Amino acid sequence: MGTFLGYMIFSTFDGLAVYAFILYIFRVDLMKFIGPILLMITATNVQSFIIRDELALTAISPIFNIILTILFLAIFIRIPFIWAIVMTVTGYTAYVLLQTLIILLSDDYMSIDQIQEFVWRGYLLQCITGIVGVAIGWLLYKMGYGFSFEFEKLRLKWERVFIILFLLCFLSVLCVIMYFKVVFTNLIVLAVALFIFLTYAFRKEESKW
């Protein structure tokens, strides 16, 4: 239980840093969507913990996180799908670069070996990365730096239908994984998240895409 709580709490710092880079770099105010973002980070952390610790599928966990982030940006923040991909890749890349820099500056104190041996050092790394990442993103936003584009110009004609089909395919893949691993908790968590995505998408049917 302690490991799970520690993972959930400190992974939230990671998540906030990622979203800070994703949104602030592209001149979108993170605080405007902080509620849904925190809920999304929590759901993502749960599925990551189960996939990595319970299913031992560490390699695919980041892929799931990236896909869920893209879907979240496209459906809830209503970023065109192509831009959602660009923003997500940019945000995760910036996060990885920042965390790598922090590890290098720690002079082996928070190296991979040290983190594996002392769990609390991993938590410390996540905490520092989260705080510094959010601070950098916020400063860039407040100082007027970043990229500002007319997102709607790159919206696909059949984007809404494509996103719904993408969601259904993603859920089907999850069903297969959970079936063969005989673990259903993760499926339930993600199924609820995807159901919310679909419901939200249908409610926006009359909105301009």
Neighbouring C-beta atoms of residue 169, cutoff 10 Å = 10
41-74 tens-digit pLDDT: 998 888 777 776 655 556 677 777 888 898 889 8
Q: What is the pTM of this model?
A: 0.76
Structure tokens at 8: 């959930």
For residues 186 and 31, give the distance between their C-alpha atoms in angstroms, rounded to a whole number. 28
**pLDDT score, position 22:** 93
**pLDDT score, position 127:** 94
Residue with tokens 């079936």: 179
- In the chain, what are the domain boundaries? 2-151
Burial 92-107 (b: 16+ CB within 10 A, else e): bebbeebbeebbeeee
Mean pLDDT on 35-41: 91
CB distance 186 to 60 below 8 Å: no
**pLDDT score, position 120:** 85
Burial 108-119 (b: 16+ CB within 10 A, else e): eebeeeebeeee
**pLDDT score, position 155:** 64
**pLDDT score, position 110:** 82
Structure tokens at 170: 């993603």
Q: Which helix (H) or strand (E) holds 44?
A: helix 34-49
Residue with tokens 């459906």: 75
Residue 209 has pLDDT above 50, yes or no: no
Comparing C-alpha atoms, which of 62, 12, 19 is closest to residue 42? 12
111-150 tens-digit pLDDT: 778 887 888 888 999 999 999 999 999 999 999 887 776 6
Residue 156 has pLDDT above 70, yes or no: no
